[in-house]
Amino acid sequence: MPQHPTRRAVALAAVLLAAMPAMAQDRPTLYFSAIPDDDETKLEARFGKVADHLEERLGVPVQYVPVKDYAASVTAFRNDQIQLAWFGGLSGVQARRLVPGSQAIAQGVEDQSFVTYFIAHESTGITEPEGDAFPEGIEGLSFTFGSQGSTSGRLMPEYHLRRLFEEAPEEIFSDVGFSGDHGQTLRLVASGAYDLGALNYSVFDAAVAEGAPEVETARVIWRTPPYPDYNWTIRGDVDERWGEGFTKRVQRALIELEDPQILESFPRTAFIEAENDLYLPIERIAKQLDLID
């Protein structure tokens, strides 16, 4: 009865084919997050598309996990609630110090030479001087940083204020605040709630490009020298869970991301390779400001 083996083979093949989706779904989910440096709705749209791209390229379930603040993103990485994150320069340094073996694997082309804008409400009368000169007349005004853990919204602007004035921000300004994110910094200064603020240059430039009303009353008065900033950082133990070479596969998937809508939402022109040593200047400054041990 030669037909019996054939029937058994067909039946076995059918069982295996039916089981394949379930087997794929049994693979561990790669969870990732990002520092909440902008409005939550924008972040959800941006990173939902990134999750889809990574899932397609890696062949494993990928899920974006929103976090409430910069510190929460570092904590989630430390606690293995996420294995991959889009960090700022400072939060990336903090996370990698807490999880030995973690690596910065990619950065935006623009992140090689990132810049912070100092902005002022038009009522201050302060304008941007020519060259590299710092504007006069900021002492005694109110000032807001972004998040306390932000590289472009706190670390670098505070570093330059201390360098230029040889005083802490609290001694330079009448009031010092922390807005929480770059978009909120722009809104607070544009409304006059604060006279001055410091924010990620790309957020301000995007507002200009979109014709946002905030740029009608908030103007750029100084630009910091460039520094390394945002990066994709991955935990050092992912190869043990998803197989040898998984870190390289994630890196390649990010670097080969070419969807113009996704890149524009960051905004970045492309992602390129990164490594931990690129962020040693950020680590050094963070130690100077006692933000890390």
User: How many domains is the chain partitioned into structurally?
Assistant: 2
Contact 37, 88 (CB under 8 A): yes
Q: CB within 8 A of 152, min separation 6: which ones?
A: 88, 114, 115, 116, 146, 182, 198, 199, 200, 201, 229
Contact 147, 68 (CB under 8 A): no
Strand partners of residue 231: 87
Question: 19 pLDDT exceeds 60?
Answer: no
| Cα dihedral across residues 86, 91, 94, 98: positive or negative | negative
> Terminus-to-terminus CA distance in the chain, angstroms?
77
3-state DSSP call for residue 188?
Answer: helix
**Residue 103 DSSP label:** E
Contact 78, 278 (CB under 8 A): no
Preceding amide of 267 cis, omega within 30: yes
Residue 14: pLDDT band (50, 70, 90) is very low
- Min mean pLDDT across 12-26, 107-121, 172-186 is at 12-26
Bigger pLDDT: 80 vs 10: 80
Question: 205 pLDDT exceeds 50?
Answer: yes
Per the domain annotation, does 8 fall within a domain?
no
Residues 205 and 248 in one domain: no
Examine the fold and report which residue of 200, 223, 246 is the final residue of a domain before the chain moves on.
223
Task: Give me the mean pLDDT over the 79-88 stretch.
Answer: 97
Note the pLDDT of residue 15. Answer: 40
Note the pLDDT of residue 293. Answer: 83
Question: 21 pLDDT exceeds 80?
Answer: no
Residues 124 and 203 in one domain: yes
Residues 246 and 108 in one domain: yes
Note the pLDDT of residue 3. Answer: 43
Task: Give me the mean pLDDT over the 74-88 stretch.
Answer: 97
Examine the fold and report which residue of 181, 201, 223 is the final residue of a domain before the chain moves on.
223
Note the pLDDT of residue 227. Answer: 96
CA–CA separation, 161 vs 167, rounded Å?
Answer: 8
Note the pLDDT of residue 17. Answer: 37
CATH number at residue 153: 3.40.190.10
Task: Give me the mean pLDDT over the 95-118 stretch.
Answer: 97
CA–CA separation, 258 vs 31, rounded Å?
Answer: 22
Residues 202 and 284 in one domain: no
Note the pLDDT of residue 10. Answer: 37
Residue 225 CA: distances (Å) to CA of 157, 164, 219, 258: 10, 13, 18, 29
CA–CA separation, 43 vs 266, rounded Å?
Answer: 9
Task: Give me the mean pLDDT over the 180-192 stretch.
Answer: 96
Per the domain annotation, does 18 fall within a domain?
no
- Provide the residue range defining the domain that includes 83: 28-112+228-288
Per the domain annotation, does 179 fall within a domain?
yes
Closest CA to 31 of 111, 85, 90, 92: 85
What residue type is 227 in one-letter code? Y
Q: What pLDDT, in 10s, does the model give residues 274-293?
A: 999 999 999 999 999 999 98
Per the domain annotation, does 43 fall within a domain?
yes
Per the domain annotation, does 252 fall within a domain?
yes
